[in-house]
Chains A and B, each alone.
Chain A
Amino acid sequence: MISIPVEHGLLLATILFCLGLLGVLVRRNIIFVLMSMEIMFNAVGLAFISGGSRWHQADGQIMFMLVLTLAAAEVAVGLALVLQLYKRFKTVDIDIVSEMKG
């Protein structure tokens, strides 16, 4: 019985995280930015599960559940912010909101 090599799981998690990061950096639609953040959270969860599977410990899954909680709270607040943004500026382009700086 060959188990799944942990390196490949971590490699996949890294690639997924980088794709999410690319999405955050490249996309200017705030809904896509939030989706890309979900991808990044998910990649982190995959890395935790991968490690937990390697050492046969439940800690990885517990960290995954905490990441899940964080993602749920983040997306609730983030989407509420999107609604406010749309109400005030009639757009979902985050560059418009750059006037908030300073």
Chain B
Amino acid sequence: MSFELILFYTASAAALFATVMTITRLNAAHALLYLIASLLAVAVLFYLMGAPFAAGLEVIIYAGAIMVLFVFVIMMLNMGQQTVEQERQWLSLGIWIGPSIICLILLAEVVTLLVNDERIAGARIVSPKMVGALLYGPYLLAVELASMLLLAGLVGAYHLARPLNESHLHENDEKADEE
């Protein structure tokens, strides 16, 4: 079995294990740690498949930005007095071990890849340059539509997450009563 196939199957196993652990955890914070490990494993897979740009985006946007949103919401949902105790319990030492091992395996893979850079075929890599040329050429309309979608998401999230206005609620109730 060739060198990069071994890396591929190791990263695949890490992704599958982390995903199974994600959907079977009872605590959302624990599941989130495994989900981040799973996303990092998929990022390594992207790199192995010759898509370094997508791998970078996966780490920055998925494991970085989107997961931070989840962390924010999980923390916001627990605004009780026992929050401090709960967080200490969430982030106890044993919890870190599983995701840390997965991340260490992935780190070892990345280091191996970087050391043996010349063995990863340069011809197979789809460079960011190709992606950019295509993105702002034939796919320009799709980029515009994606920006519209993000704007709609922004407005929708702002509208939904605004503080509840009690008087406004009562107005609605009165209107409903009148009707």
Which residues of A come within 8 Å of B, CB atoms? 1-4, 8-9, 12, 15-16, 19-20, 22-23, 26-27, 29, 31-32, 34-36, 38-39, 42, 45-46, 49-50, 52-53, 56-62, 64-66, 68-77, 79-84, 86-88, 92
Contact = CB atoms under 8 A, between A and B. Distances in A.
B62 A42 contact: yes
B113 interface: no
Interface residues of B, number: 62
Interface in B5-57: 5, 8, 12, 15-16, 19-20, 22-23, 28, 31-32, 35, 38-39, 42, 45-46, 48-51, 53-54, 57
B48 to A, nearest CB: 6
B23 A36 contact: yes
Main secondary structure of the interface of A (DSSP, over half): helix
A71 B121 CA distance: 31
A35 B70 contact: yes
Contacts of B61: 68, 72
Nearest to A21: B23
B74 interface: yes
B107 interface: no
Given A61-B126, A69-B149, A12 B70 contact: no
Interface of B: 2, 4-5, 8, 12, 15-16, 19-20, 22-23, 28, 31-32, 35, 38-39, 42, 45-46, 48-51, 53-54, 57-58, 61-62, 65-66, 69-70, 72-74, 76-77, 121, 124, 126, 130-131, 133-135, 139, 142, 146, 149-150, 152-154, 156-161, 164
A41 to B, nearest CB: 9
Given A8-B8, A65-B135, A70-B149, A76 B15 contact: no
Nearest to A1: B121
